[in-house]
Structure 1
């Protein structure tokens, strides 16, 4: 466990060194002159976003009321696990474990996490569509235009694929059963896995059958959360004296965080910084880009780790932390 934590610390240090090495001589001057009041305001925006996600969780917990403080702790602990594990794989495990202590079955916790992720994808698709419409009337470099089109296509394809899998889940289960039988998986194990998948299917259907006003509230809260979080980079550039349209800052964050997820590193450490430097430097200069990335990642990534770690240890405990560290090393 200690070895895994040391490796994580080294990865975070390496990620922090990327903008430091690329920022040049003007980096420290830009960081020194950044308004501290604006930094506190952005940290406050993150806290508001966490509370919005906590309220979203409470809406999805129909019949099992949870206080706002408890829900906030669950959200922050889950965000910590997402930031500390490859591709955020520890997030659903943490949420499932914490919701089990609230009386929910594992399938119900996984279904709630899936509904939240579907809401995130829907918000991203709407945001990219809006940026695409904005780009039609504004100058956009061919590289950013290609990346925008590819991201929008991938996101819409992912949502379409999820819909098709849900629509044809029975046929998919039969095909998977035949494949497992050919691979020699015992009958009892196939039945056990099948029951777990069907339990998740039923829990997901229950979540999606909530009243429309509840689902609409979940979508609105999701949109407000991402509106706050994706405004951090725009405000950071404003505080550094650089002007860049809000839509472009959102596009940079979507592409950089997408690259971080594809790298399978915890929180995209290193890869997200490199991608954001490559996208921002031609627009605002190397020193401004490096300073903006240090502040942006400090608010939207390192702050998540610092604030979420105590709550994770308090709510989930060391046993789950050991499981996540072993999973990260595997």
Structure 2
């Protein structure tokens, strides 16, 4: 059986998790879910695409020539489709590099753009987790959520510290990498090739980070706006179902469940995200309500990305790139 069929089975299995665990009461809640709330949340995702498209244009700073809002939205939608359609989101940077290469940008430059974007995301999550931690200090919190919150904050802080140390000792890292490749028997010409790529990547990141402070601040504000909208979907879903749960807890539940989903290395964290979010949310709102809310949340923040992004991806990137991303083989 081809890998595409295995991925499809995994996606269908993940969608059945809330249905099986929620039972008939969950179906009744879904039947009464307000349509206007669902449309509003889908509109929020469209706004997220607009925000990310504007952030991409700011990061590129005209290095690919004139880039219209429509073109930037297409690049964002195609890249995010690749993220949710490939194991561990590995297809996103490859898609971004492929699309920007068609506009004359070198792989080192486009990968640096992606890296700066990820650093902005990391900084937002660290700030948001610190805010949730401050809120949690004055409110009762279950031991599981408290330990998860502290662990997440320490993990993100460690990653950020690692990035700063890597930037501080970059020369030693590059030299150490060269010595490691030499011990592994890599030829000198090949080592030189990879060293040049690393240097081009480093120089591109430096260029991106040396933009005016107001530009970097704008990137962070756009990042924050995107994630605040994205992480408000579960909160709004519960509100539409008549459940009053603080936004901070819904943020933490989404962050932990998405991290657990990525650890499964399945597209979009299928299965792991649903099970983790159900385990965290059920004690707070009940099993059937949690299952219904999570199904709506995943429809808006996962399946909608796949359905809306697929045609854009095929128009901009094409089937050959998709085959490369998910490892499909040409039929005989």
Specify the TM-score bucket, using the shorter chain as the normaliser.
over 0.9
Match of 2:113 in 1: 112
Task: Note if 1:27 corresponds to 2:26.
Answer: yes
Q: Over residues 14-52 of structure 1, what are the superposed CA-to-partner deviations in whole Å (9 max), with x where a residue is unaligned? A: 000111110022011000000000000000000001100
Partners of 1:24 and 1:286 within 8 A in 2: no
Contact 1:252/1:276 (<8 A) preserved? yes
Unmatched tracts of structure 1, length 5 or more: none
Q: Which residue of 1 aligns with 2:57?
A: 58
Report whether the alignment pairs 1:39 with 2:15.
no
Name 2:48's counterpart in structure 1.
Answer: 49
2:6 paired with 1:7: yes
Name the residue aligned to 1:282: 283
Structure 1 residue 166: Cα displacement? 1.3
Q: Which runs of 4+ in 1 moved over 4 A?
A: none
In structure 2, stretches of 5+ residues that fail to align are none
Deviations 1:177-217 (A, max 9, x none): 11111111111100011111111111111111111111111
Aligned length: 327
TM-score normalised by structure 2 residue count:
0.97
Once residues 328 and 85 of structure 2 are traced to their aligned partners in structure 1, the CA distance between those partners, rounded to angstroms, is 11
Aligned equivalents of 2:23, 2:214: Cα separation in 1: 51
Give the Cα separation in 1 of the matches to 2:58 and 2:164.
23
Matched, 1:170 2:171: yes
Q: CA deviation at 1:5?
A: 2.3
**Aligned-pair CA distance for 1:327:** 7.8
What is residue 94 of structure 2 aligned with on the other side?
93
Q: Secondary structure at the match of 1:269?
A: coil
CA distance in 2, matches of 1:65, 1:271: 41
Aligned to 1:258: 259
Alignment of 1:102 onto 2:67: no
CA contact (8 A) 2:99 2:317 kept: yes
What secondary structure, in the 3-state scheme, does the structure 2 residue paired with 1:87 have? coil
CA contact (8 A) 1:78 1:95 kept: yes
**Match of residue 153 from structure 2:** 152
Given that 1:58 and 1:65 are in contact with CA atoms closer than 8 Å, whether structure 2 keeps it comes out as: no
Counterpart for residue 124 of structure 2: 123
Structure 2 equivalent of residue 244 of structure 1: 245
Q: What corresponds to 1:200 in structure 2?
A: 201
* Per-residue deviation, 1:263: 1.4
Deviation at 1:262, TM superposition (A): 1.3
| Alpha carbons 2:3, 2:328 under 8 Å: kept | no
**Cα distance in structure 2, aligned partners of 1:40 and 1:32:** 15
